[in-house]
Structure 1
Amino acid sequence: MTTLLLVRHAATPWTQERRLQGRTDIDLSDAGRADAAALRPLVAAWAPATLISSPLARTRSTAALLSDLDPTLDPRWMESSLGDWEGRLPAELGADYTAWRAGRLVPPGGEDADAVRTRIVAAVTAAAARPGPVLVVTHGGTIRAVLAHYLGLTADLIEPVAAPSLTAVDVDGRGARLRAFNAGAARPVPAA
């Protein structure tokens, strides 16, 4: 069994505004940098042996603030593409946003849930084969996809994933076990 330490990146200016980021490459805000640095002792207590990061700037910056390990950049851990919705506010999208969060709608030009699930399962399988615990710095949507696929915890059953926070999941060929969720969250959890 391997422990995956799934960390959602710290806040960006868009996180603080509740704008949907998707794959738009935005770096951390000053508050996000401070929050990531504050999360470092909690991550260190798990003694990660391996660091994997989404290649987006906000995850790479968070990873650098959390650990001195050299990261492996893995695009399978990127946030879902939200197509035409990137940069928009949930309030602008109304019922469509609610339907998307419930898994009933794909944003125009965005990535569908099956594609996300396929790449996340492959990413988890590859990460679980690395020396552990494995620190993975990623995005809220990918963490939700892991929790939904491996534990049946869909977005409607959990609080949003805080930016930044640590979610620890033990995985092996038989299943998964949740050990921590939203640990170390420093600021109110955004709904996006």
Structure 2
Amino acid sequence: MTTLLLVRHAATPWTQERRLQGRTDVDLSDAGREQAAALRPIVDRWAPASVLSSPLARTLSTAALLSDVSPEIDERWMESGLGAWEGRLTSELGPDYLAWRAGRLLPPGGEDAATVTRRVRAAVADAACKPGPVLVVTHGGTIRAVLARYLGLAADRVEPVAAPSLTAIDVATTGARLRTFNARA
């Protein structure tokens, strides 16, 4: 069994504006850097032995503030592609945004749930082979996909993953167990 410490990156200027980022590469804001530094004591309590990160600037910057270990970059931990919605304000999307958050709508040109699930399943399997606990600095959509795939928690059944926050799950060949959800500083 391996414990995965899934951390959603800290705030970016777009997070603060409620602008959808998807795979657009936006780095942390000054407030985000402070948030990530404040989350570090929570991460340190778990004493991660390995660090993985999405390749996007916001996750790499968060990882650098959470650990002195250089992360191994793994593109499978990247955020879901949001197609035509990347860069849009959530308020512009109206009820479509809520339907997407609940997992009932795919943005035009966005990455479908089956594709996200396949890449996340492979990323989790590889992460589970590393010395643990394994710190994974990733994105809200990716964490939702892990929760859905391994714990059966559909997007419409969980609170949104905060930026930044830590969600810890134990992963074993026999299943998974939620240890912590959305822990914040």
TM-score bin, normalised by smaller chain: over 0.9
By how many angstroms is 1:165 displaced?
0.5
Distance 1:141 1:53 in 2: 14
In 2, Cα distance between equivalents of 1:29 and 1:95: 28
| Equivalent residue, structure 2, for 1:32 | 32
1:96 corresponds to = 96
Amino acid at match of 1:24: T
> What corresponds to 1:6 in structure 2?
6
Q: After TM superposition, give the deviation of residue 172 of structure 1 in Å.
A: 0.8
CA drift of 1:102 comes to 2.3
Considering only aligned residues, what root-mean-square deviation do their CA atoms show, in Å? 0.9
Q: 2:22, 2:80 within 8 Å by CA — same for their partners in 1?
A: yes
Structure 1 segment 123-138 matched on structure 2, within 5 A: 123-138=123-138
Residues 17-62 of structure 1: CA deviation (Å, up to 9, x unaligned): 1110000000000000001001111101100000000000000000
Gaps of 5+ in 1: 187-192
CA distances 1:96-134 after superposition (whole Å, capped 9, x unpaired) = 222222222211111000000000000000100111000
Q: d(CA) in 2 for partners of 1:106 and 1:161?
A: 19
Please list, as runs of the form range in 1=range in 2, the aligned pairs for 1:102-181 lying within 5 A after superposition: 102-181=102-181
Q: Secondary structure at the match of 1:126?
A: helix
**Which 4+ stretches in 1 moved above 4 angstroms?**
none
Contact 2:103 2:154 in 1 (8 A): no
Normalized against structure 2, the TM-score is what?
0.98
Higher mean displacement: 58-67 or 82-91: 82-91
- Could you tell me how far apart the structure 2 residues matched to 1:62 and 1:182 are? 16
**Letter of the 2:178 counterpart:** L
Distance in 2 (CA, whole Å) between partners of 1:117 and 1:87 is: 23
Q: Which amino acid aligns with 2:87?
A: G
| 3-state DSSP of counterpart to 1:20 | coil
Give aligned-pair identity as a percent: 77
Paired residue for 2:49? 49
Distance 1:169 1:30 in 2: 29
Cα pair 2:103 2:156 within 8 Å, conserved: no
For 2:102 and 2:11, locate their aligned partners in 1 and report how far apart those are by CA, in whole Å: 23
Q: What is the count of residue pairs matched by the alignment?
A: 185
Partner of 1:87: 87
1:41-90 Cα distance to aligned partner (Å, 9 max, x none): 11011000000000000000000000001210000000000011001112
Unaligned runs of at least 5 residues, structure 2: none
Aligned counterparts of 1:95 and 1:166: Cα–Cα separation in 2: 28
